[in-house]
Chains A and B, each alone.
Chain A
Amino acid sequence: MKPPRLPRLILAVIGAALATGVAAGFVPVTGIARPVSEPGVLAGPASGTAEVEVTSLGASPAATAAQETGDWYLDITRPGAPVRMAIPDFQLAPPEAAGTGGGEAAAVPAEPLSGETFTVADEAAEAASVASAVLWSDIEYAAVYRMLPKRFYRIAEAGSPEGVLDYYQWESIGADILIRGTLRIEGEMLVAEVRMHAVRAQENVFGRRYTAARGAARTLAHRIADDILQHAGNYQGVARTRIAFSTNRSGPRAKEIYLMDYDGHGQRPVTANGSLNITPSWSPDGRALTYISYREGAPALYLAFLYQGRGEKLVGDFQSFTPAWSPDGRWIAFTSNRDGQSEIYLAAVDGSELRRLTDNRAIDVAPTWSPNGRTIAFTSDRTGAPQIYTMDRDGLNLRRVSFEGSYNDSPAWSPSRQHSEIAYASRIERRPFDIVVHDFETRQTRQLTTGRGSNESPSWAPNGLHIAFASNRAGDDQVFTMHRDGSNLKQLTREGSNTTPRWGNPPGNPR
């Protein structure tokens, strides 16, 4: 849920992170030096996590009142037809110092760089172009609106007097919702002002100013997209989410953990130790990863704190595999052989309170948590072949989930509140793996990929509506995303071999 109240002054968007300063996104500023001998964690986040400041611009009185009183969103329904959205490109606005609440940077004029061919105006135009494209694709990705083609907009704009919004013109081209934004550079900041209009109601229902560092146009647009989706239809967007994965692109005999934005942009390393680093799992606040590294020989459980550029070894004795961070952020479930065979264990995130949950001679591996944290699904070959099971988080109440397929593994429990379901990789009739989803309510299993390469390691988007997975359909393993019905396939990686994608929450946004 979004914040229940939207004060008209500055919203601290990314929570506590903002308290440490705008630069926290790029450089460790906490004063904690990165120990060279510590797990090779780079000073983590990059483009996707720069801070965006948000100010309300006000809207129509009714909409403003709704914003003041609590959770709200526009409720536009068109029986039998999708809601149609028009999003013209950002208009360039001249730098102005008169803006309200623009901050201390507002008075600083954009410095003309003499002799440079790339002027501030060019930079602003470039930023507007990037922001327009990113906003469009973020909204389109959600697949809940019909995007009105931009070529129609000229018709609506031509019919409107200069600078005046003529709702009838937009209604005539079929728009239900109109998103208009301006963008300018003010000092070192990029400033966007965005308004959302309910066209037939002729109402401005949303108005906000977004401020981010120059060069953070993508981040700015992602934030705007998630806001729009939230307020246009109570939809939890994924524009600010990121996907962690393991890749061999940095060299032979090595795999490193990388991050990327949900759209594949900004692929960047988290580890750089030249060893084998695999199977990442996100903390629920999107600020840390746990993963397995062979950097000291045996595979051990590590934590990487992305915003402090620091890491630590959590469980180092014996071999550990396939960690999974609990939804409440306090526990990590993983597989260990410390008692001589592969069993599921729990450890508190400070490494204390080690508990064993399974006890049998078979392989037990790949735990995944239910959204409420009370149940763990995992893979076991106790019947002779790998199948998916669930158990309570104390190890009791074992149930078998998968009955179809000769080999099922990589379970991923959906975080969705609407759909109680679990995705996993399934071998059906001796083919390579396909991604299937088992619905706990209907007890039905649906197949999302069909026979193109081997598809494994599914991971849900935080909204439970998309799935990332690895597939070798194009040669090497690559990371793809698709909707939860298998449509809208997108390939995100192309360099090297890329496996075990794990989709995480936006930073500082615990579930």
Chain B
Amino acid sequence: MRLDSRPFSARRAAALLLALLVGFACSSVDRTPATGSDAAPGPMTPPEASEAASEPETDAGPSSSSGLTEDEILAIPPEVGSETDLLDIGAKSLEELNTEGHLKDVQFEYDSAQLSATMRATLEENADWLSRYPSVRILVEGHCDERGTVEYNLALGEERARAVRDYLRDLGVGSGRMRLISYGKEFPLDPGHNEAAWRRNRRAHLEIVAK
């Protein structure tokens, strides 16, 4: 949600205050962080992010060192505060919504459809966003890198899409809002023939198809 990363603190505090005064607390906002604590402005850690951070690294990711991987950097939550500002999605085209990147891809390990903690954190953000825009429908696309075969990758891409769909459903996104599709290795995001390209291409992509 890079477009939302403007400083929001003042507006956000005012909004929260208003909400408290009026007395309907966060009903339109599904993400309800720690209701007991006061809503101090500043970088709160969403529960799923802290969960991800505290959970031991179970997947055999390429980075066991201290440096953040690309996934982890992408998984860092945006400036808190953007959450209360609902986009006027009616004013935007589907193409705009998709290029603005509100829903993030998740990247898989080679020949795997398993969801790691980092991937789940990303999907939880996606689920949050989807819960704020209940009219949005998505296509869950499964993609593979070029190193597997055409035929097997079609099935693997479908497994990836299904794993993502199932987890989003567990997070409360209605099944009727999601369709699955596998593109195998037919539509790589990055045409390169190296580790970085393969990594980007082993993905599930959430495409907004209705709003």
Contact = CB atoms under 8 A, between A and B. Distances in A.
B186 interface: yes
A326 to B, nearest CB: 18
Contacts of A276: 183, 186-187
Nearest to A364: B155
Contact of A432 (B111, B147, B150, B186): B147
Contacts of A253: 187
Contacts of B182: 299, 319, 321
Given A297-B181, A299-B182, A279 B158 contact: no
A342 B150 contact: no
B138 interface: no
B31 to A, nearest CB: 30
A194 to B, nearest CB: 42
Given A276-B186, A298-B179, A363 B149 contact: no
B151 interface: yes
A319 B151 contact: no
A311 interface: no
B152 interface: yes
Contact of B150 (A298, A363, A407, A457): A457
B148 interface: yes
A409 B151 CA distance: 7
A435 to B, nearest CB: 11
Contacts of B149: 386, 407, 409-410, 425, 433, 456-457
B180 interface: yes
B159 A407 contact: no
A410 B150 contact: yes
B152 A363 contact: yes
Nearest to B193: A472
A337 interface: yes
B150 A456 contact: yes
A255 interface: yes
A409 B152 CA distance: 7
Contacts of B183: 276
A386 B181 contact: no
A379 interface: yes
Secondary structure type dominating chain B contacts: mixed
Given A299-B182, A319-B181, A363 B148 contact: no
Interface residues of B, number: 22
Nearest to B182: A319
Given A253-B187, A363-B155, A319 B148 contact: no
B206 interface: no
A50 interface: no
A255 B186 contact: yes
B154 interface: yes
B119 interface: no
A365 B181 contact: no
A337 B158 contact: yes
A454 B145 CA distance: 13
A409 B185 CA distance: 14
B150 A500 contact: yes
Nearest to A321: B154
Contacts of A432: 147
Contacts of B159: 341-342, 363
A366 interface: yes
A433 B155 CA distance: 18
B151 A407 contact: no
B156 interface: yes
A433 B147 CA distance: 9
Given A253-B187, A432-B147, A321 B179 contact: no
A335 B187 contact: no
A499 interface: yes
A407 B147 CA distance: 11
A337 B93 CA distance: 32
Interface string B175-192: 000011111101100000
A402 interface: no
A365 B150 contact: no
Nearest to B154: A321
Nearest to A457: B150
A407 B186 contact: no
A278 interface: yes
A215 to B, nearest CB: 36
A342 B158 contact: yes
A253 B183 CA distance: 11
A335 B150 contact: no
Interface in A266-321: 276, 278-279, 294, 297-299, 319, 321
Given A337-B158, A365-B155, A407 B181 contact: no
Interface in A172-228: none
Nearest to A320: B154
A410 B152 CA distance: 8
The 10 A-B residue pairs with the shortest CB-CB distance in the complex, in nearest-first order: A366-B151, A409-B149, A342-B155, A363-B155, A365-B155, A409-B152, A321-B154, A322-B151, A386-B152, A456-B149
13 contacts: A276-B183, A278-B184, A278-B186, A297-B179, A321-B155, A321-B182, A340-B162, A342-B155, A366-B151, A407-B148, A409-B149, A410-B150, A499-B150
Given A365-B154, A407-B149, 20 more contacts: A278-B184, A279-B150, A297-B179, A299-B181, A335-B154, A337-B162, A341-B159, A342-B155, A363-B152, A364-B155, A385-B111, A409-B151, A410-B150, A410-B151, A425-B149, A432-B147, A454-B147, A456-B150, A457-B151, A500-B150
Interface of B: 111, 146-152, 154-156, 158-159, 162, 179-184, 186-187
